[in-house]
């Protein structure tokens, strides 16, 4: 087949040489009538013979005979180009071979195939690909850690990452026994008394604008006081994902559920009034975080579902808390902690102390309170604007804090 030399394309993606040797081109120009055919792919891209092509153009040859390589795939074309250029003409330099080895590796070519094509040793290809494989391993280990923190089983992780169980087990062991096992993320928010007061929600944690969003600093302190890295934390009313975000930062494993879950936060759907989902992993939670939405008293703000705790009347809410206490007792580790945060209510001139009532429910189900923390609401969100105006108009005091009950099984 003949092609015009002007129609033949040079594409660096499929050609192995980085530089043109003009001495070779000059030699070819002197032997222009005896040159072998140039090889091109189906897109007219040169596979073999770029120096010859430049010689033809230098001699103003308009049309030449070419050989067609029947492919348009970049990977196949590059491989064919390397094979042909390795058989004759100027040899590839070590720099060119390194570049080619790395490009072929990016195209998922095996190391065995790359060695054969480039005629290089095992040691040489290890040297060529060392940094790339290190980055791959780092990315793989990071993904394994992400899945492990999300409480995937080892079998699930192995299937997702497409490596064997032994490799997963080894990597996780290294993570647990290495520097991550010793880590204690410094807490700017660390509280030293049982009054936990924060100026605002840390924007790093939770879905911005989520109703009733819990300050991430509360979870930070709970994790610091009551858990260690890689302990399991359960949040069955995960809402805006604050617990998930803090657990990731502090290397705690998490199980997060909600009636109306934010899936991008790693939260799964579950109706808490029907109990906890089955646990896939063997490790029980060392901490269960409970932040029932009832204290806001805004029916329908979260969901329209009748089982949403914020939509229940007081009797229904207490029944749900009884079920919750029983579920916690079944699920919690024998040395585990329940952290329950809630505010009192005032309705029809009567104060309903939900913290005391809830404590009594948990006590009846076999728990004991080991700490009671006062957590003031963030002034910027609860003590300005509409709320202040409404409080003044109706001559009522706003609820300025929440109780945080820290409990364990007796």
Instruction: Please say if the pLDDT value at position 300 is more than 90.
Output: no
The half-sphere exposure of 380 on its side-chain side, counting CA atoms within 13 A, is 7
Residues 6+ apart with CB under 8 A from 74: 13, 14, 107
What pTM did the predictor assign? Answer: 0.79
End-to-end, the C-alpha distance of the chain in Å comes to 89
Phi/psi-derived region of residue 395, left when phi > 0, alpha when psi is between -120 and 50, beta in every other case: left
Residue 187: CB atoms within 10 A of its CB come to: 13
200, burial (CB in 10 Å: exposed 0-12, middle 13-18, buried 19+): exposed
Residue 82: CB atoms within 10 A of its CB come to: 27
Q: Are 21 and 85 in contact (CB under 8 A)?
A: no
Which residues does residue 3 pair with via DSSP β-bridges, in sequence order?
A: 64
Q: What is the pLDDT of residues 318-364, one digit of tens each?
A: 999 999 999 999 999 999 999 999 988 877 778 889 999 999 999 99
Q: What is the pLDDT of residues 243-292, one digit of tens each?
A: 999 999 999 999 999 998 999 999 999 999 899 999 999 999 999 999 99
Q: How far apart are CA 277 and CA 268, in angstroms?
A: 10
The half-sphere exposure of 22 on its side-chain side, counting CA atoms within 13 A, is 1
DSSP string across 274-293? G-PPPP-SSPPPSEEEE--G
Residues 6+ apart with CB under 8 A from 166: none
Structural domain 126-181, CATH architecture: Orthogonal Bundle (1.10)
Domain topology for 183-409: Rossmann fold (3.40.50)
Instruction: Please say if the pLDDT value at position 67 is more than 50.
Output: yes
* Domain ranges for the chain: 2-120, 126-181, 183-409
């Amino acid at each position: 087949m003949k092609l015009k030399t002007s129609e033949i394309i040079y594409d660096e993606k499929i050609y192995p040489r980085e530089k043109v040797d003009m001495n070779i081109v000059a030699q070819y120009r002197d032997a222009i009538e005896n040159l072998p055919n140039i090889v091109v792919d189906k897109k007219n891209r040169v596979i073999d013979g770029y120096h010859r092509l430049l010689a033809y153009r230098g001699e103003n040859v308009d049309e030449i005979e070419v050989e067609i390589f029947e492919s348009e795939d970049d990977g196949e074309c590059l491989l064919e180009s390397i094979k042909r250029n390795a058989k004759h003409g100027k040899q590839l330099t070590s720099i060119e071979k390194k570049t080619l080895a790395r490009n072929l590796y990016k195209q998922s070519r095996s190391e065995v195939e790359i060695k054969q094509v480039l005629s290089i040793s095992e040691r040489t290809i290890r040297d060529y690909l060392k940094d790339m494989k290190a980055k791959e391993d780092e990315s793989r280990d990071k993904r394994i850690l992400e899945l492990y923190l999300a409480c995937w089983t080892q079998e699930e992780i192995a299937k997702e990452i497409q490596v064997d169980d032994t490799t997963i087990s080894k990597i996780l062991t290294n993570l647990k026994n290495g520097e991550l096992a010793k880590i204690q993320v410094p807490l700017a928010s660390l509280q030293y008394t049982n009054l936990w007061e924060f100026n605002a929600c840390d924007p790093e944690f939770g879905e911005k604008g989520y109703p009733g969003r819990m300050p991430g600093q509360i979870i930070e302190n709970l994790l610091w006081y009551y858990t260690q890295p890689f302990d399991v934390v359960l949040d069955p009313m995960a809402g805006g994902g604050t617990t998930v975000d803090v657990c990731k930062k502090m290397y705690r494993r998490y199980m997060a559920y909600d009636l109306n879950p934010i899936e991008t936060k790693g939260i799964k759907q579950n109706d808490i009034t029907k109990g906890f989902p089955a646990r896939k992993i063997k490790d029980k939670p060392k901490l269960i975080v409970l932040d029932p939405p009832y204290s806001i008293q805004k029916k329908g703000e979260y969901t329209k579902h009748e089982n949403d705790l914020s939509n229940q009347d007081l009797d229904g809410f207490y029944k749900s808390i009884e079920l919750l206490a029983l579920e916690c007792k079944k699920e919690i580790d024998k040395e585990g902690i329940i952290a329950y945060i809630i505010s009192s209510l005032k309705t029809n001139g009567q104060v309903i102390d939900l913290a005391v009532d809830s404590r009594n429910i948990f006590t009846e189900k076999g728990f004991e309170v080991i700490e009671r923390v006062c957590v003031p609401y963030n002034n910027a969100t609860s003590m300005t604007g509409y709320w202040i105006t409404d409080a003044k108009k109706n001559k009522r005091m706003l609820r300025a804090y929440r109780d945080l009950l820290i409990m364990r099984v007796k």
